[in-house]
Amino acid sequence: MNSFLPSEKVSSQFLFEKFADLWIQKFGELSDDPLSVSGPSPSLVFISKTNDLTQALQSESAKTIIIDAKLVGATTSTTKTIFATRNIRQVMAQVLPYFDGKFSRWHNQAPLQTSKFTMGKGVTISQGCVISEGVVIGNNVVLAPYVVLEKNCSVGDNSYLHPFVVIGENCQVGQNCEIYSHSVIGSGGFGFSTESQVHKKIAQVGRVVIEDDVVISALCTIDRATLSETRIGRGTKLDSHSHVAHNCSIGPNAIMAAGFMMAGSCHIGSNFTAAGAVVMQDHVRVGDNVIIGGRSAVTRDTLKSGAYTGYPLEPFDDGLRTLANLRNLTNMRKQIAKITKFLKLDQEKPDEL
Amino acid sequence: MNSFLPSEKVSSQFLFEKFADLWIQKFGELSDDPLSVSGPSPSLVFISKTNDLTQALQSESAKTIIIDAKLVGATTSTTKTIFATRNIRQVMAQVLPYFDGKFSRWHNQAPLQTSKFTMGKGVTISQGCVISEGVVIGNNVVLAPYVVLEKNCSVGDNSYLHPFVVIGENCQVGQNCEIYSHSVIGSGGFGFSTESQVHKKIAQVGRVVIEDDVVISALCTIDRATLSETRIGRGTKLDSHSHVAHNCSIGPNAIMAAGFMMAGSCHIGSNFTAAGAVVMQDHVRVGDNVIIGGRSAVTRDTLKSGAYTGYPLEPFDDGLRTLANLRNLTNMRKQIAKITKFLKLDQEKPDEL
Amino acid sequence: MNSFLPSEKVSSQFLFEKFADLWIQKFGELSDDPLSVSGPSPSLVFISKTNDLTQALQSESAKTIIIDAKLVGATTSTTKTIFATRNIRQVMAQVLPYFDGKFSRWHNQAPLQTSKFTMGKGVTISQGCVISEGVVIGNNVVLAPYVVLEKNCSVGDNSYLHPFVVIGENCQVGQNCEIYSHSVIGSGGFGFSTESQVHKKIAQVGRVVIEDDVVISALCTIDRATLSETRIGRGTKLDSHSHVAHNCSIGPNAIMAAGFMMAGSCHIGSNFTAAGAVVMQDHVRVGDNVIIGGRSAVTRDTLKSGAYTGYPLEPFDDGLRTLANLRNLTNMRKQIAKITKFLKLDQEKPDEL
C-alpha cells in the first residue's frame, strides 16, 4: 500500500499537481461511487465512508483511491494506490480542475470545419452554430441558430435544438429529443469546498446523459455531475425554468411542470409527475409512480407510490386537509383562548402553559 | 354530415395525414373555442363539450369540427365536416404537427436578405440578428445583437429587443415595447397526450400577441397557444424569471414582480398586481383590480377586486393573520395538550380524539 | 436658491428636457443617497426625506437637487440648484431616460475593432463575441462564444464568461470570476412610476459591481441600480435561476442555492448562506453570518447572526417545529371541536367563539 497523509496546506497541492500530470496520461473514469466504475481503464475513486472503501478495495477498476484520513486504518494489505486526506472535499476542489476541459474548450475560432466532427444525413445547421471538436450529430438533427455544442458531446437522430441551446462537453442527447431556447445542458454543478468562510469551487467534470424522446422546455438548466453523470430518463418532459442539479437521476416518463427545482444527488423513479413550482431537497429519493401537487417541497425520501402534496409533504388528501385548515388557523387560536379563559387556565403562571 | 369514428390505433393517423394535406391548401384558423373563430376563412375546431358543439354548429366559420365520440349523437342535420374520436387529446397530438412550421423554420442560411422581410424607417439591426421570411419590423425598432425573429412574426414601432431575445413564428409584439435579454416569446407550450404512461407532445401551433407599451424583463418565457393565442395586455410589465403558459391572457396594465409563474389557460383582468414569486394553477380566472401578496398561490377563481395573500389564498388581512398565527402553532398544540390533560380527555381511547 | 414647482402635466417635461441637455455637458454622478456622492464632479441627487435633504444641502458635490414639493420650505438660503416636484418618482421616469445610454448602445456593427477597447495578455475571444466601445478586459480572460460586453464595462484578470453571457453597460466584473451561460449582469431594474393605473418605466442608469472570486451559475439576473450600484461581494457564489434586483448589496462570501430571488434595495452582510428557493421582500436588511433554510421567505430585517427557516421566518429550531406541527393541524382542529363540545361551549351563539 502506498498511503500518504499530506499536510493540507503545503503538500497536497504539490502532490495532486504531480498526480494529475501522471493521471492525464492514462485517463480513466472518475467516481465517488465504487460500484459505478467498471471496465479495463483505471479509475480514480473518492471515498469517505468505510462501507464504500470495502467495495472500492474489491473493485478491479478502482486503481487509485483517495480516502478520508479516518479510513487509513482500514486500507492494509492492498495493491491499490491510495492517498489519504483530512478534508476530502478540499482535495476535490484542488485535484478536479486538472481534469476539467473547460480551460482549453474555446479558441479564437476559425470558420466551421467539418473535418473535426461527425455528422449524419439530413442535418440542418443554422446560422452561427458552434460545433466543437469530437461532436457527433445523428441523422436529421435540426440545430436552430446559435446552438453551441461543446467538445465531444453528441446529439441523437431526429433531435431538434432551438436557438441558443448549449450542450456541454461530453454530454449526450438521445434520439427524438427536443430542447427549447436558452436551455443549458451540462453547466457546471454548484459544489464548493468551504474553509474559514471561503468557498472554493469544486470543478464539475462529469457529464449529463439525456435519453431518447425527452422534451426540455425553454430556460432550463441540467447540471453536469461532479464526477459521474446526471441522467434524464427516456420520455421525460421538463417544463420551462426548471433546474436539475449535479448527480441527479430522473426515471423514464416523468413529467414536471414549470419551475421544478431539484437539488443535487436526488433520484426519482419511473412515471413521476410534478405540478408547478415543486422543489426537492438534496439527496432525496423518490420511488416509482409518485405524483406531487403544486408548490410542494420534497424534503425526505418518498418511496411509496401515490400522490402527495404540501410542505411538509403529506399524502394528497391529508395535505389538502392541512391546506384547508390553514384558513381556520386564526379562528382556532381564538377558540383555544376562549377555552383557556373559560377553564381559568389563563390565570396560572404563563410558563405553565 | 360527414362523420367518421376511426379506430385510434390504425386509421386516425392515416386519416389526419390526408386531412392535413387538404387543409394546408386552404389554411384557416385553428381553435378549441367556437366563439373565437370568425371571418371568411374556414376554421378547424376541436370540441369536447356539448355546449361548445352547439356553438360550433351555429358558427359560419367553423367549417371542420373534430369532436369527442360521445358527442356524435348531437351532430345530426348539419353541413359541417365532422370527425369523431374517442380521445381528442391524442388526435391533437397526431394532427397538429402538420400545421407546425417548426420543421421548415431554419435553413442553412444565406446572409441576411432584405427582400424577404418588411422594415420601417430608422431601424437598428445589430450583429448576428436572424430575421426570417415574412417578418414585419416597424419604425425605429432596435434589435440588439443576436435577436432571432422567426417566420412571419412582427415587432411594432419604437420597440426595443435586447440581446438574444427570440420572437417565435407568427407572434406579434406591439409598439413601444421593451423585451430584455434571453426572453423567449412563443416557445412551444407544455401540452401532452398521455397513454400507457407515455407522454406524446401536442404541437403548439398558436401564437403570442403582446400589445403596446409592454415591458418584459430578462429570462422570461411566454408560451404560444396550442391553437389560438396567448395575450399580454397593453401596458403590462413582467419582471425577470416569469413564465406565462399556453392559452393565458393578462388584461391591460398588469404588473408582476420576479418569478411570477402562470400555468396554462389562466385569464387575468385589468390592473392586476402581483408581488414576487406568485404562482397560479391552470384554468384559473382573476377579475379586475386584484392585488396578490408575495409568495402566494392562486389555485381557484378570484373574481372580486381587492387584495389577497397566502397559500391558500385569503383576503389580505386574513392572510396576514394566518401567517402571524403560524408562528404560534407550536404553542397552540401545547395549549391543546394541556387542556386535554386538564379535562382528562387524554385518558379516553386515542381514536376518540 | 433657484426653486421651481412645475405643473407636472405641462412644464416638468419641458424643464427636464432642457435640463438634461445642459447636464450631459458636465456629467456627474446620479444618486438618491446624498452620502454616496463625492468628488469634484457635480452630482444630481433625488431627495424625498427631510433628513436626506439636510445632508444634501451640506454636501459639496450635490450641485443639483430634485426634491419632493413638501420639502420646499426647508431649502432656504442655499446656493444649490433645486427643482421641486409633487411626484418624485414620476419625475425620475421623465428625466432618467436622458442619462440612459441604451438608445445609442448598438449600431449596425462593423467587424470587431480592437482600437475601441482595451485588452490584457492571453485573452481568448471566441466566435461571435460583441465587445463594445470603452470595454476593459484583463489578462487571461476567457470569453466563450457570443458573450456580449456592452459599452464601458470591465472584466478582471482570469475571469471566465460562458456562452451568451451579457455584461451591461458600465458594469464591472472582478478578477477570478466565473459566470455561466445566459446570465445577464446589468439588465434594467424593474422600477415604475404609476399614475391612473398606467405604469411608466423609470430608466435604470446605475451599474452592477461584481467583486473578485465570484461564481454566478447559469440563467441568473443581476439588475443594475436605478442610479447608483448593485453590488455582489467578494467570493460570493450564486446558483442557477437566481435573481438580484436593483440597488441590492450582498456581503462577501455568501452562498445561495438555486432559485434565490431578492427584491430591490435589500442588503445582506458577510458569510450569508441560503438553501434553495429562498425569496426576500424588498428593502430588507440581513446581518452577518445568517443562514436561511430552503423555501423560506425573508420579509423583515434579520440582523442577528444565526440560522432561520420558514415563512414567516423563525429561528431554525422553532421553524422546524412549526413545520412538523403543520402535519398535526387537522388533528388539532378536531381536538378543539371535541373540547368545545365537551364543555358545551358550542351551544353558545357562534359569534361568541
**What DSSP string runs through A18-48?**
HHHHHHHHT---EES-TTS--SSS--EEEE-
The rounded Cα A137 to chain-centroid distance in angstroms is 24
Q: Tell me the backbone φ, ψ of residue B196, rounded to 5 degrees.
A: 50, 50
**pLDDT at residue A14 is higher than 50:** no
Average per-residue pLDDT for chain B: 83
- Do residues B44 and B50 touch, judged by C-beta distance below 8 A? no
Question: How far is the C-alpha of A234 from the C-alpha of A213, rounded, in Å?
Answer: 6
Residues in C closer than 8 angstroms to B339, CB to CB, are 339
The mean pLDDT value for B336-340 works out to: 94
Of the listed ranges B11-20, B21-30, C51-60, the one predicted with least confidence: B11-20
Topology of B115-316 in CATH?
UDP N-Acetylglucosamine Acyltransferase; domain 1 (2.160.10)
- Encode pLDDT of A289-323 as tens digits: 999 999 999 999 999 999 999 999 999 999 999 99
**Domain limits, chain A:** 11-99, 114-317
Number of C-alpha atoms within 13 angstroms, CB side, residue C19? Answer: 21
**Could C321 and B332 be called an inter-chain contact, meaning their C-beta atoms sit closer than 8 Å?**
no
Q: How far apart are CA C245 and CA C190, in angstroms?
A: 8
pLDDT, tens only, A217-273 = 999 999 998 888 999 999 999 999 999 999 999 999 999 999 999 999 999 999 999
Question: What class is the A114-317 domain?
Answer: mainly beta
pLDDT exceeds 50 at position B5? no
Instruction: Please report the pLDDT score of residue A1 as a whole number.
Output: 31
Q: Which residue ranges in chain C fall short of pLDDT 70? A: 1-42, 76-78, 94, 98-115, 347-353
Per-chain mean pLDDT for chain A: 83
Distance from CA of A152 to the nearest CA of B (A): 23
Instruction: Name the H helices within C148-288.
Output: none
pLDDT number for residue C78: 66
Residue B345 near chain C (CB below 8 Å):
yes
Retrieve residue C138's grid coordinates. 484583463
For the four alpha carbons of A38, A43, A46 and A49, in that order, the dihedral sign comes to positive
C231 by Cβ neighbours in 10 Å (0-12 / 13-18 / 19+) ranks as buried
Q: Which range scores top for mean pLDDT: B8-22, B113-127, B138-152, C85-99?
A: B138-152
Q: Give the closest of B125, B271, B345 to C108, CB-based.
A: B125
Shortest Cα–Cα distance, C125 to chain A (Å): 6
Here the cell at position B106 is 431554419
Q: CB-based contact (8 Å) between B106 and chain A? A: yes
With bands split at pLDDT 50, 70 and 90, how would you rate the model's confidence at B87? confident
Hey, how many other C-beta atoms are within 10 angstroms of the C-beta on C76? 9
Q: What is the DSSP letter of B113?
A: -
DSSP state of A220: -
CA A123 → CA A83, A119, A143, A160, A348, distances in Å?
Answer: 48, 7, 8, 10, 81
Contact between C329 and A325 using a beta-carbon 8 Å cutoff? yes
CB contact under 8 A, B106 and A128: no
Asked if A181 lies within 8 A of B199 by C-beta distance, the reply is no
CB contact under 8 A, B329 and C334: no
Of A146, A271, A330, which has the smallest distance from its Cβ to B321's Cβ?
Answer: A330
What is the rounded average pLDDT of the residues B182-201?
A: 87
Find chains touching chain B: ≥3 CB pairs under 8 Å.
Answer: A, C
Residue of B nearest to C327 (CA): B329
Chain segment A84-111, per-residue pLDDT in tens: 777 778 777 767 776 666 555 555 444 4
Q: Does A318 lie at the interface with C, CB-CB under 8 angstroms? A: yes
Cβ neighbors of B165 (< 8 A, separation 6 or more) are B144, B147, B148, B179, B180, B181, B182, B183, B184, B185
Tell me if B332 and A336 make a contact (CB, 8 A cut-off): yes
Q: What is the DSSP letter of A177?
A: -
Give me the residue from C146, C240, C353 closest to A338, CB to CB.
C353
pLDDT of amino acid C160: 92
Name the residue facing B235 among C148, C198, C322 (closest C-beta): C198
A227 touching C (Cβ < 8 Å): no
- CA distances (Å), origin A85, targets A69, A89, C105: 5, 9, 52
Mark yes or no for CB contact A241/C237 under 8 Å.
no
Residue C188: its chain B contacts at CB < 8 A?
178, 180, 217
pLDDT of residue C10: 30
User: For B109-125, what is each residue's pLDDT tens digit?
Assistant: 444 555 689 999 988 88
| Pairing of β B198-201 and β B192-195 | antiparallel
**Measured between beta carbons, which residues in chain C are less than 8 angstroms from residue B180?**
184, 187-188
Q: Are C280 and C257 in contact (CB under 8 A)?
A: no
Q: First-to-last CA distance in chain C?
A: 64
* Interchain proximity B109–A124, CB inside 8 Å: no
Residue A308 belongs to what H/E stretch?
A: strand A306-309
**Residues C307/C322, Cβ–Cβ less than 8 Å:** no
- ipTM confidence: 0.84
What residue in B sits closest to A293 (Cα-Cα)?
A: B281
Q: Hey, are the CB atoms on B281 and A277 less than 8 Å from each other?
A: no
Residue B181 has its nearest CB partner, among C184, C281, C339, at C184
With a CB cutoff of 8 Å and minimum separation 6, the contacts of A157 are: A120, A138, A139, A140, A141, A175, A176
Interface residue A332 vs chain B (CB under 8 A): yes
Q: Which amino acid is at A306?
A: G
Q: Does C332 touch chain B (CB under 8 A)?
A: yes
Long-range contacts of B106-113 (CB under 8 A, 24+ apart): B106/A124, B106/A126, B106/A142, B106/A143, B106/A144, B106/A145, B107/A124, B107/A126, B108/A124, B108/A125, B108/A126, B109/A126, B109/A127, B109/A145
A299 touches chain C (CB under 8 A): yes
Cα distance between residue A254 and residue A236, in whole Å: 5
φ and ψ at C156, to 5 degrees?
Answer: -75, 170
Active site residue A246: yes
Task: Tell me if A342 and C343 make a contact (CB, 8 A cut-off).
Answer: yes
Residues 20-79 of chain A with CB under 8 A from chain C are none
**At residue B319, does pLDDT exceed 90?**
yes
Q: Look at C330 and A46; give whichever has higher pLDDT.
A: C330
d(CA B221, CA B241) in angstroms, rounded, equals 8
Residues of B with CB below 8 A from A164's CB? 146, 148, 164, 166, 182
Among candidates B187, B194, B342 on the partner chain, residue whose Cβ is nearest the Cβ of A181: B187
3-class DSSP string for A77-98: CCCCEEEEECCHHHHHHHHHHH
What does DSSP say about strands B306-309 and B314-315: parallel, antiparallel, or unpaired? antiparallel
Phi, psi of B230 (to 5 degrees): -105, 130
Q: Which triple of cell numbers denotes residue A227?
A: 464526477
**pLDDT at A111 (0 to 100):** 43
Span B54-66, average pLDDT: 80
Distance, in Å, from the CA atom of C97 to the CA atom of C94, rounded to the nearest integer, reads 7
Name beta bridge partners: C81.
C2, C64
pLDDT of residue A105: 53
pLDDT band at B14 (very low <50, low <70, confident <90, very high): very low
Residue A28 to residue A26: CA distance in whole angstroms: 6
What residues of C are in contact with residue A322 (Cβ under 8 Å)?
326-327, 329-330
pLDDT recorded at residue C334: 94
The residue type found at A322 is T
**Strands laid side by side in the C285-286 sheet:** C118-119, C136-137, C154-155, C172-173, C207-210, C229-232, C249-250, C267-268, C285-286
What are the strands of the beta sheet with B44-47, ordered from one edge? B30-31, B44-47, B64-68, B81-85
pLDDT of residue C111: 43
pLDDT > 70? residue B107:
no
pLDDT in tens, A325-341: 999 999 999 999 999 99
- What's the rounded Cα separation, in Å, for the pair A99 and A21? 10
Give the model's pLDDT for residue C38.
54
* A:173-192 residues touching chain B, CB 8 A cutoff: 178, 180-182
- What's the gap in Å between the CA of B332 and the closest CA on chain A? 7
Which has the higher per-residue pLDDT, B237 or A200?
B237
Sign of CA dihedral C85, C88, C90, C92: positive
Tell me how close the Cα of C3 comes to any Cα of chain B, in angstroms.
34
Contact C254, C214 (CB under 8 A): no
Closest CA to C62 of C83, C89, C80: C80
C-alpha cell of residue C348:
353558545
CB proximity under 8 Å: A 253-282 to B: 253, 255, 257-259, 270-271, 275-277
Chain A neighbors of B336, CB-CB under 8 A: 336
Number of alpha carbons in the 13 Å side-chain half-sphere of residue C287: 9
Residues in A touching C235 (Cβ below 8 Å): 198-199
pLDDT cut 70: percent of chain A above it: 79
Measure the CA–CA gap between B148 and A112, rounded to whole angstroms.
21
Query: Which residue in B234, B90, B266 sits closest to B156, CA to CA?
Result: B234
For an interface test with B, give the residue of C106, C130, C314 to mutate (most B CBs within 10 A).
C106
Q: Which residue has the higher pLDDT, C20 or B227?
A: B227
Which residue, A253, A160, A332, is CA-closest to B326?
A: A332
Instruction: Residue C308: name the closest of C324, B311, C295 by CA.
Output: C295
Out of C221, C279, C343, the one facing B240 most closely (by C-beta) is C221
* Paired strand residues for A229: A207
* pLDDT given for residue C52 in this prediction: 85
Q: What's at C320, amino acid-wise?
A: L
Looking at the domain that runs over C115-317, which CATH code has it been given? 2.160.10.10
Of B162, B243, B246, B267, the active-site residue reads B246
Please compute the mean of the pLDDT values over residues B56-71 and round it to a whole number: 80
CB contacts of B333 in chain C (<8 Å) are 325, 328, 332
